Amino acid sequence: MLVLFVLCLSYHGYAQEYYIADVKVQGNKRLKSSFVRLISDAKQGKVLDSTVLEQDIIRLKRLPAVSHAYYQVFHSHDNYYNVFYNIEENFTINPQLNVYTTNDDEFAYRVGLYEFNTLGRNIAFGGFYQKDIFDSFGINLRTPFLFNNKLGIAINFQSLTTQEPVFLEEGIADYRYNNTSFEFLGLYAFNFRHRIETGVTIFTEDYDYLFGVTSDNVPQELVVDKLLFKGVYEYDSLDYYYQYTNGFKSTFNIQYVIASNETLPDFLIWWNDFQYFLKVGQKGNWANRLRLGLATNDDSPFAPFSVDNNLNVRGVGNTIDRGTGVIVLNTEYRYTFLDKPWFAIQGNAFIDAGSWRNPGGDLGDFGDDQNLRVYPGIGMRFIHKKIFNATFRVDYGYGITPSATSGLVFGIGQYF
């Protein structure tokens, strides 16, 4: 039987303590039991503590390989008890798909394939191919639990090529933009909720003029080698129950970029994503994301923050503007119309709204009507509950601010 009363006794100051005889793992097939024990705080011989067990379960449910988990406690001998972690596994060989278009007949897509449980140890490995007028690709390796539940590494290589608008005083010029980069990150978790990433990226940016207006002050060809130092701090108190999410998460990113060419000067950039989720009743989920960010305020047509369909505002178009500051709010209500043991269908209604600071501008730009975009919309989610991140989404966003567009955004996984 589940001996919750035993745990209660230990918390109320009774002289006798209760210990863990063994940690047993059940229900897993591909996820290694040795890996589950490695990342768990509950260990053989340690004091039995329900708070530790509950945190281990939440940590397990955050793994791509786990769709659901729970624990049981059974008496072994004397004051020792066996802990059982029961796991329902996900299928973790996961296709990636993002498709986005607008009523201007823009069309772009990204496809990929990732294994999120390589070697049964929660190692993510895979790559993608992107077609956004030009061809792009990337390869990614991420092992957050290399030696224990604290230390890991990530290695990424990518070559991204897109047609990018550059906004000049005379008008808009379009450039072929390529970014080829190699990134190495160290990952460290202080505890159950707090973790950091830090590392370096070596990359080259290549701009080639295609068409549009020109300026004597802006080169038509530009190749710049850059060095990027990166830091990420994350606070995560999210809890998951299949397609539902509860809790709060904050992710702070800061980057310092050193350039080899004065045309693209060194700059500092930071942004913070605040996410809040609330389960509403039996079938509803309210989801929110607020992004705040600023960068060095150079009056440059190559500003780092972009307004883009697939990043922040659904229906707005593919990179329609740039800025040196950003405020974006995404809020949506998700409702589950059909919920089966392996499959669910959700509908959602959303509002995406954002504003940007113009390059070289001031904070008052955030209140400028020309910089404000508001896009309400509706969408559908088709969710396979036994495959990690197997949520096919389609959203239609309709702009209600001046000179707005509308468009469809398809993808794999929730938008945020």
Q: What is the DSSP letter of 31?
A: S
For the stretch 132-180, pLDDT in tens is 889 999 999 999 999 889 999 999 999 999 888 887 878 888 999 999 9
Residues whose CB falls within 8 Å of the CB of residue 347, separated by 6 or more in sequence, listed in order: 334, 335, 337, 378, 379, 380, 381
Question: In the chain, where are the structural domains located?
Answer: 4-89, 93-412
**410, pLDDT greater than 60:** yes
Are residues 97 and 382 in contact, defined by beta-carbon separation less than 8 angstroms? Answer: no
Q: What is the DSSP letter of 358?
A: P
For the stretch 18-67, pLDDT in tens is 999 999 999 999 999 999 999 999 999 999 999 999 999 999 999 999 99
pLDDT band at 9 (very low <50, low <70, confident <90, very high): very low
Residues whose CB falls within 8 Å of the CB of residue 263, separated by 6 or more in sequence, listed in order: 219, 222, 224
Q: Identify which of 289, 291, 292 has the alpha carbon closest to the alpha carbon of residue 331.
A: 289
Cα–Cα distance measured from residue 352 to residue 314, given in angstroms and rounded to the nearest whole number: 7
Cβ neighbours around 340 below 10 Å, total: 9
For the stretch 208-248, pLDDT in tens is 999 999 888 788 888 999 999 999 999 999 999 999 999 99
Cα–Cα distance measured from residue 136 to residue 179, given in angstroms and rounded to the nearest whole number: 9
pLDDT band at 12 (very low <50, low <70, confident <90, very high): very low
pLDDT score recorded for residue 302: 73
Burial class of residue 54 in the structure, from the number of CB atoms within 10 Å of its CB (0-12 exposed, 13-18 middle, 19+ buried): middle
Look at the chain and count its residues. 416
Percent of the chain whose predicted confidence (pLDDT) is above 90:
72
Class of domain 4-89: alpha beta
**321, pLDDT greater than 90:** no
Q: What is the DSSP letter of 121?
A: T
Reported in sequence order, the residue ranges of 313-413 that DSSP labels E, i.e. its strands, are 321-323, 325-339, 343-357, 373-384, 391-398, 406-412
For the stretch 264-293, pLDDT in tens is 788 899 999 999 999 999 999 999 999 999
Are residues 76 and 20 in contact, defined by beta-carbon separation less than 8 angstroms? Answer: no
* Average pLDDT of span 100-109: 68
Cα–Cα distance measured from residue 222 to residue 208, given in angstroms and rounded to the nearest whole number: 7
CATH (residue range 93-412): 2.40.160.50
- pTM above 0.85? no
**11, pLDDT greater than 70:** no
Of the two residues 5 and 199, the one the predictor is more confident about is 199
What is the maximal distance between C-alpha atoms in the chain? 84
How confident is the prediction for the chain on average, in pLDDT? 91
